[in-house]
Every structure is written in C-alpha cells, then in structure tokens.
A and B are shown apart, each in its own frame.
Chain A
C-alpha cells in the first residue's frame, strides 16, 4: 500500500486537493507546489529582479504554507492566501534591501512616485534571457522596476496574475477602492514612461 495514495484523480477540484494536503497528504501538497511554484516565481522575480531571491521566496512561501495549512479555514482561499504570503515576503525583502541600498524607495509611500527613468533599473538585471525580448517588453519591465514596491505588487497581482481587487486589498492592507487608485496611478506612470521611451 502506498502511504500517500496512488496519486490524485485527474479531475479533482483544488479545494479537495487543499483539504487532502491539510491532512498531510504529500501527493496533494506536491500537486499544489507544482501548480503554484512558477506563478509565485514570476511574481517574486518581477518584484525583486533577482532569480535567487525569487527562488528563496517560492521556497519560503510554500514551506510556510505546508506548516500552516491545517489552520487554513477555507480550502477555496488557498490561492489568495499563498499569493498574499509570497507578496508580503517579497515586500519584506525589498524593505530589507532598501535599508542597505542607496537608491531607497519608500515602500510605504504609494503617493510618491519617482520619475520613470530607464536608468533606475536594478543592477541585478539579468540580460541573458531578457535579450531576446522586444524593446517594448524591456521598456515595460524597466518602468515597472521604478514603481514603489507596493504599487508594483498591486500592478503585478492584477495585470500579470489576475487577482481580484478584494484579495489585493487584503494583501496590501488597503481598501479595494485604494487598490483601484493605486492601479490607476501605476498604469499612468508606466504609460507616461513608455511614451517618453518612444
């Protein structure tokens, strides 16, 4: 007998998979890791512009989730919860970085937007796989790096990951209305920057 079952039924809903992982079912948890690790990596990488840091965020987030899973009351809330963990870990890391860096962006001040300058792109930029990208995408990611961290998180969660205003609000501890305002300012800032690029 296999201790963890013969694998998962192909049509299993995510709520049932989460519930099984809560019971310590490793096959179910592995399925969740496979489902979410790349999404969380893309989020963390675009937040931090560093592969190693992004991998650390993925690993810490999913390890934390394993330990805390039994306390999750609503199995259908897993996706939002795991995104919240990863976002806040990324924001924490940026705060730690900014405490050591010269070009500090105040992560709590979402009103103050620095000028959208391509030269503000992080020194950790990885040219290897960015090289093949279109200039437009490079421009967008460069401008994204100039946004204050919370604003960047807001834009990424909505535009790249399709998370709801309500969920983003809970993650960033702001109201859904404030999420809308933050997003609008992020879009405005990026759009202005892109037009200067052209």
Chain B
C-alpha cells in the first residue's frame, strides 16, 4: 500500500511542494504550467479556508462542552482521589490525628511556592517510626521542633522545576528552610529530612 505517496500533478510537481510554496511568487515552471496554476489557486483557497475555520472554531462559543462535562470529570476525580498513606501526627487518649500524604504534599508545595524561580512538582513522603528516628540522623539545625521526638520521622522528597539561571544550591537551601518551618507550623511534627530534586528547567 503506497501510503507514503504524495499526490502529483500531471506535470510531475507534488501537491506537497506546491502547498509549501503557495505564499511565494510562482516559479518559472509554475508561471507557464496550467496545472500548477490551478493547483496553486485551489490550495491558496484551501489555506485561507483552513485558517478561517481554525479561527472561527477557536472563538465559537458553541464549540465548547457544556459545564456539566467538566463537573462530571471532576466528580470522578474527587471520588477517586489518591490520598496516599496516612501519617500519624498525634496519638493520645482523647484520640488520634492523622494527615494524608496527599494533603501534607499540598502543604509542602504551598510552602515551596514562596521561593521565587522554583516550581514544586511531585512530592513523596516516607515515614520512619519514631523509635528509629531517635537513633537516626540529627534534626536540621535551627528548625523549630514541635513534639518531634514523639512523632514520626519524615523524609520529604520534593521534585521541582527551576528557572534557568537560578543558583540551585541557594534555592534548595531556601526551599529546605521554608518546608522545615511550614511542616511543624502546619501539622505539629518535625520536617525531618527534606530532599530536593531539580528535575527540569522551565521556560520563562
């Protein structure tokens, strides 16, 4: 099946070539060739109609889905939202407090958004039991620690896109500081380890 074949006029010119050059003056051949002239006229008409249809469809208020469509999509998304694992924040006789990984990721991204030139992306949170953390690494110096020793030890892995030209070590430190403050302030446990992965540079 010759699906790669491009239609040609009787004179041998390909439609593709004529299409690519319809905005230019005709070549010496095209000036003399009736088939080429006809094809040029037809394709110019098509080019204009195509542009016109594209613009018209783009701005035609009737060519949009009804609002119910978006609502139905978002209803499904909400019903099937991936909340990740739950992290225990506090356990007492009066009850426990937990937060979903998804909600804590949102809090972390909100905090990270305060740093200019960085777009927070995916966030993975690993949890180590409190006992392991006591024997493990130190808490970052200068962070506010609230009930950390009683809570879980978090390892935050935040992926980000950075603006080109940004000084990554400085931005990463600023991010770490912002996140390390926001987690205790927001949910009352220590931030633990905050790993920053710059996975992309975004266009400004």
Contacts and interface: CB of A to CB of B under 8 A. Distances in A.
Does A associate with B in a complex?
A: yes
Interface of A: 1-6, 9, 12-13, 15-16, 19-20, 22-26, 29-30, 33-34, 37-38, 41-42, 45-46, 54-55, 58-59, 62-63, 66-67, 70, 75-76, 110-111, 128-129, 133-134, 136-137, 139-141, 159-160, 174-175, 177-178, 180-185, 187-188, 190-192, 194-195
Given A1-B186, A23-B123, A137 B56 contact: yes
Interface in B1-35: 1-7, 14-16, 19
Q: Which 5 pairs across A and B sit closest by C-beta, in order of nearness? A: A19-B121, A13-B202, A16-B119, A129-B62, A191-B42
Contacts, number: 178
B170 to A, nearest CB: 20
Mostly helix, strand, loop or mixed at chain A's interface? helix
A66 B76 contact: yes
Interface string B78-114: 1011111000000000000000101101110110010
Interface of B: 1-7, 14-16, 19, 38-39, 41-43, 45-46, 48-50, 52-54, 56-58, 60, 62-66, 69-70, 72-74, 76-78, 80-84, 100, 102-103, 105-107, 109-110, 113, 119-123, 159, 161, 186, 200, 202-203
Given A66-B80, A187-B19, A182 B3 contact: yes
